Structure 1
Amino acid sequence: MDHRQRWVLALTSLASLMVMLDMLVVTTALNAIRLDLHAGLAELEWTVNAYTLSFAVLLMTAAALGDRFGRRRLFVIGLAVFTVASAGCAVAPGAGLLITGRAIQGAASAMVMPLAFSLLSAAFPPAQRGKALGLFSGVSGLATLGGPLVGGAIVQGLAWQWIFWLNVPIGLLLIPLARTRIPESRGAAARLDFGGLLLAGVGALGIVWALVHANTDGWGTPGVLVPLIAGAVCVAGFVEWERRVPEPMLPMRLFTSRAFAAGNFAGFLLYASIFGSAFFFAQFFQAGLRYSPLEAGLALVPWTVTLSLVAPIAGARMNRIGERRLLVAGMTLQAAGFGWIALVASTTTAYVSLVPPMVLAGVGVSMAMPAAQNAVIGAVPPPMIGKASGTFNTLRQLGGTFGVVILSAVFTSAGGFGSATDFGHGFARAIAVGAGLSLAAAIVGLWIPVRSDQSVPVRRATVEAR
């Protein structure tokens, strides 16, 4: 690894850390936000989903803009907008404006995350990319470790607003360094696919809106049925549009590669299980076990610390072990860990009994994350890395959004915020669904070709992309 590659790895990883930190630091603040702003479960969901949904919908457009106008340029613009939006969230007086600020943060993150991924992938040849992605996942994974901890410490020691002020100095540090230390890179210039952007955005928003409001409004109400049907129609229209448009935002032909298709679908399920479970873990410790925000953050350490320890090791050994084995084994371990938690979790559960399954789940997902990323990136030729990166990150964020919505629906049907006991019942049922999503990701991972077979889909994707 040369001097230039070290700078690219360090800056893209720190930017990813900031974005992921903001996504996860909110988890231990949700209970304080609920009490301070008198927010219901739906508003808490939108505090998370406004960020992830705008992030997901705009990812592919940001990747295309980066390919055309310069990845570093869009990366720096995204950092600037994210920094300003973070300050806006910090001064928001109510849930509505907080949700608006979170949506702007998500849009800015759409310029940061995929372009960080693309800049990193372009800086490293395939032989070094697995190790680089492992280090990248490990550093950005510090957000998983530090998010709940930092959030809990800030909420308890200061106020929840300071979780957003935290991003400002990081952003101000990154902007000048990125402009001077990261070399500019571009992909294949293509026309912007505004039709695909519109269909994808409306489709995702309609389905998420319906799922969020179904439990409170009822599945048969027009306010749920109309956006659900409209969203499904738009998603189907998006697939057909992308198959026909000359320069698609998301080339459907790439999904003919087993590694590309399975890596993306497994990533969707992986992040659905992670985001959905993270949404409830910190709340369970606070609302169910009566922990303080800081104690809740510390309680999550056995789960989160493993990402920074295991992901770099998994990435370094990926060329030897192969993506399929790491992904399948990792997600099976997470499914076992989440299932274990679902069986023992209650308001009378001793914390020590939760530590082994949290460690088991953390080790598992730490193995699977870099494997899913590498399977996708390794299945396309270099000019298509931007598209592949945008696709993976789009499906990752959509997976996170749907994970929060699905687990919230299960939580509401089985429990609620009425009492600690109600919360414990809903939490156990929701985490059981998280285990099911993890197991489904492991099953999908079996579709990824083993190392000896991966040259076939890579060549095919290369030919079809030309």
Structure 2
Amino acid sequence: MPDVRIGSAQGRWILFTTILGSSMALLDSTVVNVALPRIGRDLDADLAALQWTVNAYMVTLAGLILLGGSLGDRYGRRKVFVVGVVWFATASLLCGLAPNAGMLVASRALQGVGGALLTPGSLALIQASFHADDRGRAVGLWSGFGGIGAAVGPFVGGWLVDGPGWRWVFLLNVPLALVCVPVALRHVPESGGDGERGRFDVPGAVLGALALALVTYALIDAGDAPAVAAVTAAAGVVAGVAFVAVERRRPDPMMPLDVFASRQFTAVNLVTLCVYAAFGGFFFLTAVQLQVVVGYSALGAGAALLPTTVLMLLLSARSGQLGERIGPRVPLTVGPLLCAAGMLLMLRVGPDASYAADVLPALLVLGLGMVTLVAPLTATVLASVDTARAGLASGINNAAARAAGLVAVAALPLLTGMGPEAYRVPAAFDAAFGRAMLWCAAVLVLGSAVAFTTVRRPAPDCLHPECRSHCWVTAPPLENGERPVDDDGRAAGGGDPARPEGW
């Protein structure tokens, strides 16, 4: 049984290295958007290359994140976490040294593989290391400090782009890894590694990632080579069908399809697809809009986006508690509508936009919508399946959100008529940005309608996440979902895990 206490020196070192490792991947998913205009200018890259700079990372991360957790169970969670950190840092170094857009995109795909290893591993190490009485607080601190990282990520990214240059957005991960790895090897106990968990679903992982990559390629390339895009899209559909067939027949699938027998689980994942598609498209385009059209520096654009994550950092715990009292249907219906209103307010953000009068109100309304829906969404995912499958359910939900985001980044420029050089022409990008916000708002309204018609209050004795403070903006946080219980059946550990001490 795990017995590390949170107040011990070892407990503090475990928290430090797991937070540092997960923050590397989290920061990269938020800061790169701010650097895109400068990357495009320095590498003479067109819009498609900038889309792939974001999506190459997301394809491998979304396709392999479920497999990453299984590798930790089989070979040892600390070992896989350390391999993931080293892999991620090495790929980050390649990104920082990339001489052209093609090398950058390939390195970003490698980064996603590292992220798929370290992201689930960081939380799994906490679950496997800490005493049951301290586990809720430990997960709360992990989530809370991760939220702080998400909040400051765009600001740090902008500062790096305007200062030492965009390459340091990636190179910064190297010294962080040089700190993280020795601490993990010295202070984090190994867990898992029993080698008796069946065969890995390598075919499923490959087919899933291939389907995402082919569909993404087809959407990005459709404007320049429609015939090639059509063939690629068809191949992506075939790969997706093959993925479903493999998962249905394998005795140990990466994504057991019977988990979707829960109507609540299926409904919440449909809501997830809608809201995180809109979020992915919004954050990709807004960082460019603020720089290319409004005229902000990279630092100014990063700082401008802070209100959304700050609101989530401050209010998501209360939102989770409210969702538990009134049920998830209202938050998951109202939250997307607030987000849609925020995106419609972004239509006012043009060449002469005022931050106080135009940008800030839109971001505040969007942030309130995100606060309203994100924590109840994660809690409802966990409540919709058996306790033994909570980790699987969380991983599927996380992967679905990332897949939705990457498809949105690929599709929105096509749907809004952005040409390869649109981000170099402020007027053209501004017009397309307005159309994109309408698309995002429409998808959010669809998500709200799905929630209103399908989501119901979970049973009173259902599973609740150990931490209800969620500050991620690009995907729902991974939750293990396992909660120790006392002899009387109550959750062990005491206190409110959504309000851990020290945060």
TM value normalised by structure 1: 0.88
- What aligned pairs does 1:10-25 form with structure 2 within 5 A after superposition? 11-25=17-31
Q: What do the CA deviations read for 1:386-422 (whole angstroms, capped 9, x no partner)?
A: 4333322221221121121122223435992353221
6 and 301 in structure 1: CA distance in 2 versus 1, 3 angstrom threshold: same
Q: 2:215 — aligned with what?
A: 207
Measure how far apart 1:81 and its partner are: 0.9
Partners of 1:135 and 1:313 in 2: CA distance? 16
Which of the numbers 74, 81, 104 marks the counterpart of 2:110? 104
Question: Counterpart amino acid of 1:206?
Answer: L
Q: Is the CA contact (8 Å cut-off) linking 2:92 and 2:174 kept in structure 1?
A: yes
Contact 2:345 2:361 in 1 (8 A): no
Match of 1:287? Answer: 292
Report percent identity of matched pairs: 34
CA distance in structure 2 between the partners assigned to 1:85 and 1:156 by the alignment: 23
Give 1:433's aligned residue: 439
- C-alpha change, 1:275 and 1:312, in structure 2 (3 Å) is same
Give the structure 2 partner of residue 236 of structure 1.
241
- Structure in which a larger fraction of residues adopt helix: 1
5+ residue gaps, structure 2, are 464-480, 482-503
- Which position in structure 2 is the counterpart of 1:448? 455
The aligned residue for residue 459 of structure 1 is: none
CA deviation vs aligned residue, 1:341-367 (integer Å, no higher than 9, x gap): 13x232233222221121111122133
Cα distance change of structure 1 residues 176 and 313 upon mapping to structure 2, 3 Å threshold: farther
Distance of 1:325 and 1:176 partners within structure 2 = 46
Cα shift at 1:118? 4.1
Q: Which one of the candidate residues 77, 80, 84 is aligned to 1:78? A: 84
Q: Spell out, residue by residue over 1:103-155, the C-alpha distance to the aligned partner (whole angstroms, 9 max, x if none).
A: 11101000112233444566799999998766654432334322221111111
Partner of 2:341: 336
Residue 184 (structure 1) aligned with residue 191 (structure 2):
yes
Separation of aligned partners in 2, 1:372 and 1:417: 34
Q: Which moved more, 1:355-364 or 1:379-388?
A: 379-388
SS at structure 2 position matched to 1:320:
helix
Instruction: Quickly say closer, same or farther: Cα 1:101–1:413, change in 2 above 3 A.
Output: closer
Give the Cα–Cα distance (whole angstroms) in 2 for the partners of residues 372 and 120 of structure 1.
23
- 1:277 and 1:407 in contact (8 A); partners too: no
Quote the offset at 1:378 in angstroms: 3.5
**CA 1:372–1:405: 2 relative to 1, 3 Å:** same
Q: 1:132 to 1:236 in 2, by over 3 A?
A: farther
Task: Give the aligned residue type for 2:87.
Answer: V
Q: Does 1:313 align with 2:321?
A: no
Deviation at 1:10, TM superposition (A): 5.4
Query: How do 1:30-45 residues align onto structure 2 when only pairs under 5 Å count?
Result: 30-45=36-51
User: Normalising by the residue count of structure 2, what TM-score does the alignment of the two structures yield?
Assistant: 0.82
Secondary structure at 1:412 match in 2 = coil
- Residues 278 and 137 of structure 1, relative CA distance in 2, 3 Å threshold: farther
Distance 1:178 1:315 in 2: 32
Residue 163 (structure 2) pairs with residue 157 (structure 1): yes
* Letter of the structure 2 residue corresponding to residue 168 of structure 1: V
The number of equivalent residue pairs is: 455
Q: Is the 8 A contact 1:137 1:370 kept in 2?
A: no
CA–CA distance in structure 2, aligned partners of residues 345 and 454 of structure 1: 46
Contact 1:7 1:182 in 2 (8 A): no
Aligned to 2:202: 194
Worse-superposed segment, 158-167 or 374-383? 374-383
- The AA in structure 1 aligned to 2:118 is V
Alignment gaps of 5+ in structure 1: 457-461
Q: Alpha-carbon deviation of 1:67?
A: 2.5
The correspondence of residues 288-437 of structure 1 with structure 2, limited to 5 A, is: 288-315=293-320, 318-342=323-347, 344-352=348-356, 353-413=358-418, 416-417=422-423, 419-437=425-443
- Offset at residue 190 of structure 1 (A): 2.6
- Please give the root-mean-square deviation of Cα atoms over the aligned residues, in Å: 3.1
Measured after TM superposition, the shift of residue 35 of structure 1 is 0.5
List per-residue Cα deviations over 1:414-463 (Å, max 9, x = no partner).
9923532211111111122222222333333343331346749xxxxx9x
Q: Alpha-carbon deviation of 1:57? A: 1.2
Kept in 2: contact 1:323–1:375 (CA 8 A): yes
- 2:253 is matched with 248
Deviation at residue 38 of structure 1 after TM alignment: 0.2
Residue range with higher mean Cα deviation, 116-125 or 148-157: 116-125
Q: Which amino acid aligns with 1:174?
A: C
CA contact (8 A) 1:138 1:307 kept: no
Is the counterpart of residue 258 in structure 1 residue 263 in structure 2?
yes
| CA distance 1:237–1:396, change in 2 (3 Å) | same
2 CA distance for matches of 1:396 and 1:332?
18
